[in-house]
Structure 1
């Protein structure tokens, strides 16, 4: 092929590719009506566990932020979460895993919050706390290997962490999660919800069917009480790490449903 002709073909091809990429980017561009996603972690872990969910959301064109809660008390964690909410440009969908569900239930009354997504999480009612919700476990339910408090903080038995918290996570990662636990303040467990956000805002709930930290029957009962849209997937308590696609899909469903109501 003549050089000049080849150049024209190449230029046409490149232009077409650029236009295709541009069109694809536009297709995935954030809907102006779509709320931002704020991801809230639970006890014993930090926000880094959301990495794969975060990457999927960003790749699909959604705005996402991650909260790093100190997990020292419910009041402290709600304050940190609300600062992240305040930093978002528009509305927000709060996503909470485990104890993070308590945080979003309390912080979700913020006017900017438009919806809640619970991932294998506590969804307490008024006056309830983690402490009150786990006081009377379902008969036969696994008992989380929580060690006695040390200076007002809790840890899971490191030798039993993987089996109890992250049974379906890559063993090396699960062991690292156990070795890098974040101290969970007893005051965070006893912090009671004053006004549950799910009573006035739409919610979604992902039940982890193999959870050994929060029994699936308890998850189903809390999600039903909250009137949440529920999906169930096979997964451990760390389902947000082991099943990021399923978790991200539910979050995106929630965001899209809220955005659609604004159109």
Structure 2
């Protein structure tokens, strides 16, 4: 018979101890999960749901840093995809999402074109109690996103759009409509110039296009006329110049916070953006 050496015996004791620890963790895990679930329910019951809406040439991941910050503070955060097909249909889809996927009060947040979407979607959702615009369009009735850009000093307001955009025909779009992408050079120098080059490259590769028709579609009655709003102005924004943002914020009666950020300030200044969203959430009684 083979006898155990001290080293072998020690190894066996460690394995036995590890096995016992594993059993203990397995026994405690359901309790911990139940406790976490109860905490989530409590947070959801006492805090509004925050719905984040992305804009053109981005997707839901553009809100990832802000989402993490808000979730760490106990908020339920939802980031639905924005189809970027037409202002009317995008707004209707968001409204349906809010009605079916949320309960209780909602803070609705929009970035860029997403601001125009929340402006229209919130008018049919009485649960939306606060609006937050982040480097976003907050159009008045009858205004289009394209009209706002054309009346500004935006770097996208150029005589020859082919110098900054790529156009791709989409067979599922209405006749004459096309998808609009930012050229890589435009993305790097205009859209996300304050992010690291490696981050810009990844974001530019995965950008979601917007149908050109959505940019010329007039907005309806603005939700900001009856719902309190907050506005984060990126002072280095080249897509929607700060002066244009401030003008829209003044018209909407928004509480303004300026941040030293590009058009993607929710990625370059996520803490500051999240703080404004929390301010809006705290305003709800």
* Count of residues in Structure 1 that have an aligned counterpart in Structure 2: 235
User: What TM-score, normalized by structure 2, do the two folds share?
Assistant: 0.77
CA distance in 1 between counterparts of 2:90 and 2:195 reads: 26
State whether residues 146 and 154 of structure 1, in contact with CA within 8 Å, keep that contact through their aligned partners in structure 2: no
Partner of 2:8: none
> In structure 2, which of residues 119, 124, 127 is the aligned counterpart of residue 105 of structure 1?
119
| 4+ aligned runs moved over 4 Å, structure 1 | none
Q: 1:146 to 1:78 in 2, by over 3 A?
A: farther
- For the residue of structure 2 that corresponds to 1:120, the secondary structure is strand
- For the residue of structure 1 that corresponds to 2:43, the secondary structure is coil
State whether residues 95 and 104 of structure 1, in contact with CA within 8 Å, keep that contact through their aligned partners in structure 2: yes
State whether residues 135 and 240 of structure 2, in contact with CA within 8 Å, keep that contact through their aligned partners in structure 1: yes
Give the alignment's Cα RMSD to 1 decimal: 2.1
State whether residues 119 and 240 of structure 1, in contact with CA within 8 Å, keep that contact through their aligned partners in structure 2: yes
Q: Which runs of 5+ in 2 are unaligned?
A: 1-34, 158-162, 170-177
CA distance in 2 between counterparts of 1:146 and 1:36 reads: 37
Larger radius of gyration: 2
State whether residues 210 and 235 of structure 1, in contact with CA within 8 Å, keep that contact through their aligned partners in structure 2: yes
**1:122 corresponds to 2:137:** yes
Partner of 1:50: 63
User: What TM-score, normalized by structure 1, do the two folds share?
Assistant: 0.84
CA distance in 2 between counterparts of 1:67 and 1:32 reads: 21
CA distance in 2 between counterparts of 1:33 and 1:226 reads: 28
> Following TM superposition, by how much is the alpha carbon of 1:31 offset from its aligned partner in structure 2, in angstroms?
6.8
**1:191 corresponds to 2:217:** yes
**1:135 corresponds to 2:150:** yes
- For the residue of structure 1 that corresponds to 2:129, the secondary structure is strand
